[in-house]
Structure 1
Amino acid sequence: MKMKNLSILMTLLLVSACVPPNDGSGGGGEASFLPFLMLLTFFIFIYFVTIRPQQKRQKEHQTLVESLEKGDEVMTSSGLVGRVESVKDRYVSIKLNENVSINMQKEFISSKLPKGTINSIESQ
């Protein structure tokens, strides 16, 4: 909700900066760059609020995928929990239980789990 209010405020400031003055002066030298400055400020704000955090998450996920090794306990993006059996170039083999093993792309591993998570789930 706070983000929505902030974006509305930024939009109102941007629109008010683009409206010409009503006093008949026709604008001035220093007022002519104000809309550009407001627009630039708005794009910088959007960059740091939306784009930059997404890039950070992508980098963290890439680090996670590159650090996968045999024996790691992982969760997939579909919610499956298993233990890594082997890691290949783009694929990883995950053992879900004694009889079921699947191969999937590394990109679909959403997180590494602490050691012992699978045993604690099975004992419940």
Structure 2
Amino acid sequence: MFGVAFAMAGAPGGAGGPAGGMAAFGQIIPLVFMFAIFYFLLIRPQQKKAKEHKALLDAIKKGDNVITAGGVHGKVIAVEDSIVNLEIATGVVVKINKPYIASVKKD
């Protein structure tokens, strides 16, 4: 019984001659296509959105009306390096980190 299994196995080490290299190349092609699909459908749009958000954060100035990631609406009172002072009601000022600003409202 073992003799039949070994006879059907082929050459030891999987060496099949010149066709062995083509078989390996044929297995890599689907992986390359999958990576290309992931790049164009997931990675590239995410990088573009991150670049736009960074530009939005760099353009924030005093007097802008913004919305935070938590949904709080407020007016920018002061901008520091990584902290924004936000007036959410008359006389109520909170400090938030710059990356938590989701968008700038257009009035």
Q: TM-score, normalised by structure 1?
A: 0.67
CA distance in 2 between counterparts of 1:72 and 1:103 reads: 15
Measured on the aligned residues, the alpha-carbon RMSD in Å equals: 1.7
After the TM superposition, list the runs of 4 or more consecutive aligned residues in structure 1 that deviate by more than 6 angstroms: none
Q: 2:93 aligns with which of 88, 94, 101?
A: 101
Letter in 2 for 1:47: Y
Partner SS for 1:36: helix
Q: 1:46 aligns with which of 21, 28, 38?
A: 38
Task: Select the structure that is richer in strand.
Answer: 2
Which residue does the alignment assign to 2:58? 66
1:1-124 map, 5 Å: 28=19, 30-115=22-107
Unmatched segments (≥5 aa) in structure 1 = 1-23, 116-124
Q: Percent identity?
A: 37
Unmatched segments (≥5 aa) in structure 2 = 1-9, 11-15
Which residue does the alignment assign to 2:3? none
Q: TM-score, normalised by structure 2?
A: 0.77
